[in-house]
């Protein structure tokens, strides 16, 4: 598990002379401490660059993404496979004008993301301009077709089909990386955007889940996706955050 905040260790307790003699006697004197420290420093640098690998656990209602079936009788609204995009946004990304809507305090919706997300394979990607401008390795996908040439990002799972097909147990996927250097920054945010579809085939403007800042939460991120009862079907689709927030007060 990645550390969520800097730790203050305080003063070390003094050790007795007997303890020190026994320790050295068992292990012998340490040598080449400079090399060891250099190696440790290299590991710390690599760790900071690699970031903190997080898991996403998804609980599902019996049926999800049911709005495409709005014209069917209620008992036949079984839903369509639901794709997800988990998007890591760093403070440096927000310096690009095309990413203004990805600020943590913006009213970005799932519709916004899927209408403007980068698309295309390596060497043929479309980013910036009317589209958001983010590196490929900051986007993690649950996809219908992992070989779709339009996908931009890393596929970590298949599209969700609701508990009636996927089973009652939650879906859990790992490998979601957020670099450690800015994990507590005010402008750092990790989004989960479901591709909810409406009766006309367009994307629904549902609010995503937002982890802001990512360091405020445990490494195991948990969401629930489903359909609320007694609401118009296109407004009833939802995703909610079930992850304990440990730091930085409440999300605003």
Of 9-23, 161-175, 215-229, 237-251, the poorest mean pLDDT is in: 9-23
Phi, then psi, of 44 in degrees rounded to 5: -65, -40
Quick: pLDDT tens for 34-57.
544 444 344 333 344 456 789 999
What are 171's two structure tokens?
A: 């879906």
pLDDT band at 124 (very low <50, low <70, confident <90, very high): low
pLDDT at residue 249 tops 70: no
pLDDT at residue 248 tops 70: no
Q: Is-contact 78 65, C-beta < 8 A?
A: no
Higher pLDDT, 161 or 21: 161
Quick: pLDDT tens for 151-161.
999 999 999 99
Of 57-61, 87-91, 238-242, 248-252, the poorest mean pLDDT is in: 248-252
pLDDT at residue number 24: 40
pLDDT at residue 97 tops 60: yes
Of 46-55, 79-88, 120-129, 158-167, the poorest mean pLDDT is in: 46-55
Burial class (CB in 10 A: 0-12, 13-18, 19+), 197: buried
pLDDT band at 26 (very low <50, low <70, confident <90, very high): very low
Q: Is-contact 63 225, C-beta < 8 A?
A: no
pLDDT at residue number 66: 97
Domain boundaries, the chain: 52-241
Name the 3-class secondary structure at 175: strand
Could you tell me the sign of the dihedral formed by the alpha carbons of 31, 37, 42, 48, in that order?
positive
Higher pLDDT, 107 or 21: 107
pLDDT at residue number 180: 86
CA distance 181 to 184: 8
Q: Is-contact 182 64, C-beta < 8 A?
A: no
pLDDT at residue number 37: 40
**Longest CA pairwise span in the chain (Å):** 81
pLDDT band at 102 (very low <50, low <70, confident <90, very high): very high
**Strand-strand pairing, 171-178 and 139-143:** unpaired
């Amino acid at each position: 598990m990645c550390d969520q905040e800097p730790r203050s260790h305080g003063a070390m307790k003094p050790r007795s002379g007997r303890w020190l003699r026994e320790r050295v006697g068992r292990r012998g004197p340490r040598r080449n401490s400079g090399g060891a420290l250099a190696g440790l420093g290299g590991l710390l640098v690599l760790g900071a660059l690699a970031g903190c690998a997080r898991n996403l656990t998804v609980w599902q209602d019996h049926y999800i993404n049911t709005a495409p079936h709005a014209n069917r009788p209620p008992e036949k609204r079984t839903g369509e496979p639901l794709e997800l995009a988990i998007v890591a946004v760093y403070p440096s990304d927000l310096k690009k004008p095309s990413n203004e809507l990805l600020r943590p305090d913006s009213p970005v919706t799932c519709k916004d993301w899927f209408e403007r997300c980068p698309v295309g394979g390596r060497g043929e990607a479309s980013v910036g301009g009317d589209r958001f401008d983010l590196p490929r390795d900051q986007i993690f996908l649950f996809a219908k077709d992992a070989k779709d040439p339009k996908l931009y990002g890393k596929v970590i799972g298949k599209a969700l089909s609701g508990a009636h097909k996927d089973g009652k147990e939650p879906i859990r996927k790992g490998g979601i990386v957020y670099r450690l250097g800015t994990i507590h920054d005010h402008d750092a945010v990790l989004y989960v955007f479901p591709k909810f579809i409406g009766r006309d085939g367009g994307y629904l403007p549902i609010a995503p889940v937002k982890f802001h800042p990512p360091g405020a939460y445990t490494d195991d991120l948990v969401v629930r996706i489903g359909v609320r009862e007694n609401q118009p079907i296109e407004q009833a689709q939802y995703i909610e955050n079930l992850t304990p927030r440990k730091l930085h007060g409440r999300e605003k």
